[in-house]
Amino acid sequence: MPLAGWWALPKSPVISPSENGLTRHCERAKNGFQLATQAGRMFAYEWDATTDVVGRSAESAQILGINEAAHITGEQVLTMVHPHDRERLMVAVAALSPEEPYLQISYRMVRPDGTVIWVERNSRAHFDEQGRMLRIIGMVADITERKRVEEALKKSEEKFSKAFRESPMALTLTSAKDHRYLDVNETFEQLTGWLRDEVIGRTPFDIGIWVDPSQRVEFVKQLLSGDVIRNLEVRYRCKDGTERFGLGSAELIEIANEPCILSVIADISDRKRAEKALSGMSRKLIEAQEQERTRIARDLHDDVAQRLALLAIELERVQQNLPDSVSELCTRIDTIRKQSAQISIDVQTMSHELHSSKLDYLGIVAAMKGFCKEFGEQQKVEIDFRSHDLPTPLSPEISLCLFRVLQEALHNAAKHSGVAHFEVQLWGTSDEIHLAVNDLGGGFDTETAMHGSGLGLTSMQERLRFVNGELSINSQLERGTTVHARIPFSSSSDSARAAG
């Protein structure tokens, strides 16, 4: 029968010298075993299958939280096994046989104070000649801390995996040794067009994703030398052959003792296009400003200045050669007066084109009506202007933006449409202001126009962008064009509705 104090040595009244040496050897072995089991938080046990008695080493008391001297049975031990693991353990023990006598299993146990611990059991079953189980001998290790670390690591890996998969930036994991892709996320798939299954096991060189492959080689060299890559501008090639710009960052990490590269790529293609467009826009605006200054200077010099000079000459002639009759004098003075009045009107028109005073003092509706009337008279075209449901007051920024869009749209229509009748509508909704300029002319290709190099449409788009607005153009060949500007409107006070 197994003993409760399994490792206790029996006392003998007479010990021979040879027995004394053996005793000391056994004592040292016992002490060494106890130190090992204490350090490893484990205990030895023996279960007698015929009596159900469990013998165990002293370390079991601390691990299981039971009295060291208490006699326990296999049935009592089974009740300490966590209910969710009990059946699994019973099935594993029942499956032991003379051919398969070894058992290794992990499960939870509940201590008397309610604390749940994890144990790992390694044991061997012994059978008689008839194949009946006699006993099971083995070791039980407390692996609670190991399980806690494993669980924490598992959760950390799950968090990393989730963050990796769901990141709004393109993430890749590659081997630092052979450059092969180990994993990519969905954003990478969306940006590049390459599916995960298509790239795993292949290298960036295989799929030609780096426009400059040498940049990738240098990239890895820096990482292996201990550097960290931050915000490196790269060009990458999508599956369909299009090239895009990215801002890449990377770090060297270790997975399963292998060096790997975790890369983050933020697509900046839109930003690069915007920077290029802004640079081009700035250049065009400077050119337009210089052209406008040149035009004003030319108009002042070639028209206004010369006409004023002629007036001065005419006045000098009148002064030097006064007519004999009052009637003739009045006629000449009246001619000079009309010429001066026309010069005044022309200067006013020039000033009005640069900035409408009506916009400041009378509001957007009056300014647009006035401009449509003047523009129609100058260009010999008919403009039908209508407005309704406008919120008031409008901010100066929105008013000026709409006025400039109207000017540009009418200039473009008069120049390119080939018709002499236009419709202008200005209206408001609960949260937006709309301006539409319509003609029934020849139309044009909107895709080419919106992405072209002309300043007109670009300037309208930029002006609207400054007030969070949008520009849309609907045009069909031989069926006309509609330029539609939309600006969101909000006010801290209740918006009054004013009919145009």
Structure confidence at residue 302 as a pLDDT band (50, 70, 90): low
Residues 124, 134: Cα–Cα separation, whole Å: 11
Q: What percent of the chain has pLDDT over 90?
A: 40
- Which CATH superfamily does the domain covering 17-143 fall into? PAS domain (3.30.450.20)
Q: For residue 441, what is the DSSP state?
A: S
Q: Which two tokens stand for residue 179?
A: 């450059």
- Side chain identity at 442, as an amino acid letter? G
Element (H, E) at 118: strand 116-127
Q: Residue 426's Cα: distance from chain center in Å?
A: 37
The answer to whether the beta carbons of residues 41 and 59 sit under 8 Å apart is: yes
The answer to whether the beta carbons of residues 474 and 488 sit under 8 Å apart is: no
Residues 268, 281: Cα–Cα separation, whole Å: 19
pLDDT in tens, 337-375: 887 877 777 776 666 666 666 777 788 899 899 889 988
Residues 481, 377: Cα–Cα separation, whole Å: 22
Strand duo 382-388 + 116-127: pairing: unpaired
At residue 352, the pLDDT reads: 62
Q: Which two tokens stand for residue 283?
A: 């250049």
**Which CATH topology does 167-267 take?**
Beta-Lactamase (3.30.450)
Residues composing the chain: 500
Q: Which two tokens stand for residue 106?
A: 């992990």
Q: Which two tokens stand for residue 442?
A: 């020849």
Residues 434, 196: Cα–Cα separation, whole Å: 46
Q: Reduce the DSSP state of residue 103 to 3 states and report it.
A: strand
Residues 191, 64: Cα–Cα separation, whole Å: 56
At residue 105, the pLDDT reads: 95
pLDDT in tens, 308-346: 777 777 777 777 777 777 777 788 788 878 878 777 777
Q: For residue 418, what is the DSSP state?
A: -
Do 17-143 and 167-267 fold alike per CATH? yes
Q: For residue 168, what is the DSSP state?
A: S
Task: Say how many C-beta atoms besides its own lie within 10 A of residue 355's C-beta.
Answer: 11
Q: Reduce the DSSP state of residue 131 to 3 states and report it.
A: coil
The answer to whether the beta carbons of residues 411 and 457 sit under 8 Å apart is: no
The answer to whether the beta carbons of residues 177 and 261 sit under 8 Å apart is: no
Residue owning tokens 């990738």: 216
Residues 44, 59: Cα–Cα separation, whole Å: 8
Structure confidence at residue 186 as a pLDDT band (50, 70, 90): very high
Q: What percent of the chain has pLDDT over 70?
A: 81
The answer to whether the beta carbons of residues 80 and 64 sit under 8 Å apart is: yes
Q: Which CATH number fits domain 356-498: 3.40.50.2300, 3.30.565.10, 3.30.1180.20, 3.40.980.10?
A: 3.30.565.10
210 or 18: whose pLDDT is higher?
Answer: 210
Residues 384, 379: Cα–Cα separation, whole Å: 14
pLDDT surpassing 70 at residue 32 = no
Question: Which residues, other chains included, contact 100 with Cβ-Cβ below 8 Å and sequence gap of 6+?
Answer: none
Question: Which residues, other chains included, contact 246 with Cβ-Cβ below 8 Å and sequence gap of 6+?
Answer: 170, 233, 234, 235, 236, 265, 266, 267, 268, 269
Q: Residue 114's Cα: distance from chain center in Å?
A: 47
pTM reported for the whole predicted model:
0.41
What does the domain layout of the chain look like in residue ranges?
Answer: 17-143, 167-267, 270-354, 356-498
Strand duo 229-237 + 258-267: pairing: unpaired
Residues 158, 281: Cα–Cα separation, whole Å: 48
Q: Which of 320, 323, 342, 344 is nearest to 332 (CA)?
A: 323
The answer to whether the beta carbons of residues 425 and 434 sit under 8 Å apart is: yes
At residue 93, the pLDDT reads: 95
At residue 4, the pLDDT reads: 38
Mean pLDDT: which of 239-253, 384-398, 431-445 is highest? 239-253
Residues 230, 376: Cα–Cα separation, whole Å: 58
